[in-house]
C-alpha cells in the first residue's frame, strides 16, 4: 500500500518553543491531508484538514494560531505547534489521500510523539 | 463527530474467528463503512471498506446489513498479532472521525 511518513517520530522540547512535524506521502500525490492528535488511552481526534495550496480547515475547538498547518506541495504537509506547553504533549498522526476517490483508503503516518517539558 | 458505536472490548481465542460489530444507524446513502486498526503507539492501519455489498480481502471480511445500519468485521483466524484497537468509521471520504473503537484481545 501507499506510504506516508512522519518526521520526527518523537520530540522533546521545552515549554514555550515551537515544534514542526512533517508528513510526507512517499509514492503518491496527496491532495488532502488530515492531522489528528491522540492522548493516552483515547481515540484519535481530528484536528484539521488541509488541501494542497489552500488554507487548512480546523475542527471546532482547535486553535488555528496554535497549530499551524501548511500543505505547500502534493507530497508534504507540516504541523507546527507554536509556543508549546505541557498540555500539548500528545501523539500527533497525519493521514493522506490521493486524487482517486474510488481507492477508498486513507493512509496514515507512523505518528509523532511530542513531549513538552 | 464519530457516528458509530462499538463495544469497548472483546476477547478471542487464537485461531478462532473474531467478529467485531459496529452500529452506524445514521449512516448516509453516500457514506462508506471503513475499518482501521491501531496497534499500540502506531498509526492506524487500513483493513477494509464497503458501501453496501459484503467485501473480502486478504485481511478480513466485511458484512454490511441490508439496511446498512450495522456491520461486522470478521478476522477469520485471529492471531496474537491481531491484538489491537479496531475502529469502524462511516465516511463520504471527506472526513474521517474516529470513535472509541473496540479493543480486541486475542488470547493463546
Q: In terms of C-beta density within 10 A (0-12 exposed, 13-18 middle, 19 or more buried), how is residue A108 classed?
A: buried
Q: What would the pLDDT profile of A7-22 be if each residue is shown by its tens digit?
A: 999 999 999 999 999 9
Q: What is the pLDDT of residue A52?
A: 81
Q: What is the pLDDT of residue B93?
A: 76
Q: Which residue's entry shows cell 518553543? A: A17
Q: What would the pLDDT profile of A80-97 be if each residue is shown by its tens digit?
A: 999 999 999 999 999 998
Contact A110 B42 (CB under 8 A): yes
Q: Which residue's entry shows cell 500500500? A: A1
CB A10 within 8 A of CB A112: yes
| Residues of chain B in Cβ contact (below 8 Å) with chain A | 2, 32, 34, 36, 38, 41-46, 49, 87, 93, 95-101
Pick the residue of A3, A7, A43, A115 with the most B CBs within 10 A to test the interface with B by mutation: A43
Q: What is the pLDDT of residue A102?
A: 46
CB B10 within 8 A of CB B59: no
In sequence order, the β-bridge partners of residue A68 are: A80
Which stretches in chain B have pLDDT values below 50?
A: none
Amino acid at each position: 500500500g501507499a506510504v506516508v511518513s512522519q518526521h520526527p517520530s518523537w520530540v522533546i522540547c521545552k515549554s514555550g518553543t515551537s515544534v514542526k512535524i512533517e508528513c510526507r506521502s512517499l509514492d503518491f500525490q496527496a491532495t488532502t491531508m488530515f492531522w489528528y492528535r491522540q492522548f493516552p488511552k483515547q481515540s484519535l481526534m481530528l484536528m484539521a484538514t488541509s488541501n494542497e495550496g489552500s488554507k487548512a480547515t480546523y475542527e471546532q475547538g482547535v486553535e488555528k494560531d496554535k497549530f499551524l498547518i501548511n500543505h505547500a506541495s502534493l507530497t508534504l504537509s507540516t504541523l507546527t505547534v507554536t509556543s508549546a506547553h505541557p498540555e500539548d504533549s500528545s501523539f500527533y498522526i497525519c493521514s493522506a489521500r490521493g486524487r482517486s476517490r474510488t481507492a477508498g483508503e486513507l493512509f496514515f503516518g507512523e505518528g509523532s510523539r511530542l513531549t513538552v517539558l | 463527530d464519530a457516528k458509530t458505536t462499538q463495544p469497548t472490548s472483546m476477547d478471542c481465542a487464537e485461531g478462532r474467528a473474531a467478529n467485531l460489530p459496529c452500529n452506524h444507524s445514521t449512516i448516509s446513502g453516500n457514506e462508506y463503512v471503513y475499518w482501521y486498526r491501531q496497534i499500540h503507539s502506531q498509526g492506524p492501519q487500513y483493513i477494509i471498506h464497503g458501501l453496501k455489498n459484503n467485501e473480502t480481502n486478504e485481511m478480513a471480511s466485511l458484512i454490511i446489513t441490508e439496511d446498512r445500519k450495522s456491520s461486522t468485521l470478521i478476522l477469520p483466524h485471529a492471531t496474537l498479532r491481531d491484538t489491537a484497537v479496531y475502529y469502524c468509521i462511516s465516511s463520504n471520504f471527506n472526513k474521517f472521525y474516529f470513535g472509541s473503537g473496540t479493543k480486541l484481545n486475542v488470547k493463546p
